[in-house]
A and B are shown apart, each in its own frame.
Chain A
Amino acid sequence: MMEKMIFGRYIPGDSFVHRLDPRSKLIFVFAFIIVVFIANNTITYGLLLAFTLFIILMSRIRLYFLINGLKPVLILLVFTFLIHIIFNREGNIVFEWGFFKVYEQGIRQGIYISIRFVVLVFVTSILTLTTSPISITDGIEVLLNPLKKIKLPVHELALMMSIALRFIPTLMDETDKIMKAQMARGSDLSAGPLKDRIKAVVPLLVPLFVSAFKRAEDLATAMEVRGYRGGEGRTRYRKLKWDWRDSTSLVVLVALSALLIYLRT
């Protein structure tokens, strides 16, 4: 059951991208999302696409995983492409069929937007594919640290996130078990009209919640006994290391955006 989930699926590796500090990767991705919007003509979009391909090569992630990540947004992608083709009425007519006319600018914009989409999905997928969830949590915690000044409980949020991530497989197993137990009692979870199926979920959720609360209580006790008393005075086992790779990748991003600004029309 777990293996099918691509929820933040992490593929261990030893590439340049894998070895980057989660902080630099997070900053890079957020900055890149903004940089993508600078592009507005063929050269700049081409450059973006080439750069993304370069990142993919650097990460040594198989294209298959990235295409997989694209599947959920495929409908959105096709939909926006069609919208542009149908409603954009600039430039020369390329194709005419009755009252249905396709304009040059429509095709161009459609392709641009699609590239934007694909590039964004690929780059964010590479972030989750090359960074373990726990490193992402660590990175977020450090990056959000300045927000402690406005009383945001950064440490607590990060801990909540890491515990939630750690318990996903445990609760999945549990769901599986409860499902089988209810099926053994004759409940049918997969057939019948929607209303019945929703009703059948209730005897699944109730035991799951009960056990989740029990687990939470046990965990709280175990944490307290092991000396947990909030973020203060805590040291960290995981050390984040910023090295030349991280600085380089950010410099490259700045260079890219300068180039894009220069080339845009």
Chain B
Amino acid sequence: MSEILSFNNVSFSYTPEVEDARKAVQNVSFTVNEGEWISIVGHNGSGKSTMVKIISGLLFPQEGEVRVMKNVLSEENLWETRTQIGMVFQNPDNQFVGATVQDDVAFALENNGIPHEEMVKRVHKSLKQVKMDTFLNHEPHHLSGGQKQRVAIAGALAMRPKILILDEATAMLDPQGRAEVLNTVQELRKETGLTVLSITHDVEEALLADRILFMNDGKKYAEGSPLEVFSLGDKLVEFGLELPFAMRMTNLLKANGVQLVGEHMTEEELVNDLWTSNFNK
């Protein structure tokens, strides 16, 4: 497994000229390896969005370094690096540049001077990957939020990025749209082994990740598998994060005297434990 993205003791402050200023990101280090799905969770103001801006080169850290594909991100390789990162933002409307679906998917390709024939091929292929290939000429206001986000994913995929970053991409969607987008990402990963970094405060979304990074007040508070991070339990609740529904249910059942074995992250696990719980006595 090779490294795709890494933060090395990165610190960033929006007001560097002030001494002892609050740092939006403080001494954060982590590594994302090829093919992984990493979730960064944390409540508002925990530094998640700043980290995204640092990865995409919109902000440069005052301390530490960011490596993308093992190259340190700098002003010189900024544009080249951006072609290797696909990004999907929160508001489906505000990232739709083209007049129609296919124009929007082609936008990044146009910017990077991809020849026309290649562009047409890539647009069709990436729209097929997100199952939006029958919407080629649709205008954005005739699409649902989930569909727009899928188009945004296709737009990112067209550049054949090494890593796909979802910056709260499901936050403004209804449950159906959210499921659409997350299913699309999961299928993409199955097919292509894409590396995904999702920034979210939706706990159920974070559960899909291989590894969770829990941010609090600009610092990395915990890192590990979903089970490891969520077994911190009440500590997370203190920092304003909700526990997954199955986990809260488990805790409540236990408090009411139902015998359950261990913690459960998903509903399925909990149900399986519940209907067998009497046999285990």
Taking Cβ atoms with an 8 Å cutoff, the residues of A that contact B are 2, 132-134, 162-163, 165-166, 169-170, 173, 214-215, 218-219, 221-229, 233-239
Contacts and interface: CB of A to CB of B under 8 A. Distances in A.
B87 interface: yes
Contact of B113 (A133, A223, A233): A233
Looking at chain A's contact residues, the main secondary structure is helix
B97 A222 contact: yes
B63 interface: no
A237 B141 contact: no
Contacts of B56: 225
Nearest to B88: A222
Contact of A234 (B98, B102, B110): B110
Contacts of B123: 237
A238 B79 contact: no
A227 B116 contact: no
B89 interface: yes
A214 B95 CA distance: 12
Contact of B79 (A222, A229, A234): A229
Taking each of A134, A173, A214, A222, which has the highest tally of chain B beta carbons within 10 Å of its own beta carbon? A222
A92 B168 CA distance: 79
Interface of B: 56, 58, 79, 82-83, 85, 87, 89, 91, 93-100, 102-103, 106-116, 119-120, 123, 139-141, 155-156, 159
B274 to A, nearest CB: 44
Given A170-B140, A235-B119, A224 B58 contact: yes
Q: B102, B112, B140: which has the most chain A beta carbons within 10 Å?
A: B112
Given A134-B99, A170-B140, A235 B82 contact: no
A2 B100 CA distance: 17
Given A2-B141, A226-B155, A229-B111, A166 B116 contact: no
A235 B110 CA distance: 5
Interface of B is mostly: helix
A68 B99 CA distance: 26
Contacts of A222: 87, 89, 94-95, 97
B76 to A, nearest CB: 14
A226 B107 contact: yes
B85 A225 contact: yes
A165 B139 CA distance: 11
B97 A219 contact: yes
A234 B100 contact: no
B111 A227 contact: yes
A236 B139 CA distance: 19
Contacts of B93: 170, 215
Contacts of A165: 99
Contacts of A221: 58, 89
17 contacts: A2-B141, A134-B103, A165-B99, A166-B97, A166-B99, A169-B139, A169-B140, A170-B140, A218-B91, A219-B95, A226-B156, A227-B112, A229-B79, A235-B113, A235-B119, A237-B120, A238-B103
Nearest to A222: B95
Given A234-B110, A237-B109, A166 B98 contact: yes
Given A170-B141, A222-B87, 4 more contacts: A169-B139, A218-B89, A219-B94, A237-B123
Contacts of B79: 227, 229
Contacts of A133: 99
A195 B85 CA distance: 53
